[in-house]
Amino acid sequence: MGRRREPRKEIGATVRIFGTNSSGQVFSENAVTVNVSQQGAELSGVQAELNLDEIIGLTYGKNRVHFRVKWVGKPGTPKAGHVGLVNVSPEKPLWDFPLPSPAPDNHQPRVAEQRKHPRFKCHNSVELHTRDGASFWATISDLSVGGCYVEVAIPFPRGTKLKMAIWIGETKHWADCEVAYSTPGSGTGVMFNRISEPDLERIRQFLGTIGPFAKKPTYEQ
């Protein structure tokens, strides 16, 4: 089944965030959304150091809602200054623009059954490069030594050839990929066609740190 509870909309909206940082000091600052859903959001440009599970407030227009911090981007990576949030008061919506209605993720089970390698949940940044020269930033929600799932609002058609750079820590690892399937409004599943042995070994090592028995990291990779 799918990785997200509900579809998200990529939009850059300025919000005001406020609360208490990891040092116990009160803060209030502006940030910008990367994507939002009915009950969640990813923000960029966050200067305050926040603890996981901390409750912070968001103000957008005349609306004010409290969110829980679910992940924090690791310093020195493309996700530095990003945080992932979930609404702690679902009955109080924050946004005044239309969003996709909550719906079950419709990933195809048969695709998962065909996978040769187990996948593990993660939240790594990736660079996607198409054959016509276009490039995109995105996030993967799961990863294996054979492929990954890329979260994009407008997925690529099946069979699309891509060159992908996966960020692990402060380095990126390259793979030639092909789109195996797409879920409208959610993302794209890709399989690795060619990857160097050093890059593949680094992915193996990383998967060993995020497997079901690994200690949960404090920061997003």
Q: Are 190 and 177 in contact (CB under 8 A)?
A: yes
Q: Can you spell out the DSSP letters for 170-184?
A: TEEEEEEEEEEEEET
Give the model confidence (pLDDT) of 118-145 as tens digits: 778 888 999 999 988 888 899 998 898 9
Question: Residue 153 has what pLDDT?
Answer: 77
Q: Which class for 86: exposed (0-12), middle (13-18), buried (19 or more C-beta within 10 A)?
A: middle
* DSSP β-bridge partners for residue 165: 127, 174
Tell me what pLDDT residue 44 has.
Answer: 92
pLDDT of residue 94: 85
The string of pLDDT tens digits covering residues 81-99 is 999 998 887 777 788 878 7
Mapping DSSP to helix (H, G, I), strand (E, B) and coil, where does residue 192 land? Answer: strand
Q: Is the pLDDT of residue 167 over 90?
A: yes
Task: Residue 81: name the closest of 112, 111, 43 by CA.
Answer: 43
Confirm whether pTM is higher than 0.85. Answer: no
Say if residue 13's pLDDT is above 60.
Answer: yes
Q: Which has more pLDDT, 98 or 148?
A: 148
Cα–Cα distances (Å) from 129 to 132, 174, 190, 212, in that order, read 8, 11, 13, 31
Output the pLDDT for position 30.
Answer: 94
Q: What is the pLDDT of residue 82?
A: 93
Band of the pLDDT at 111, cuts 50, 70, 90? very low
Residues 26-55, mean pLDDT to the nearest whole number: 90
pLDDT in tens, 49-92: 998 888 899 999 888 989 989 999 888 888 889 999 988 877 77
- 3 state DSSP class of 203: helix
The pLDDT of residue 1 is: 39
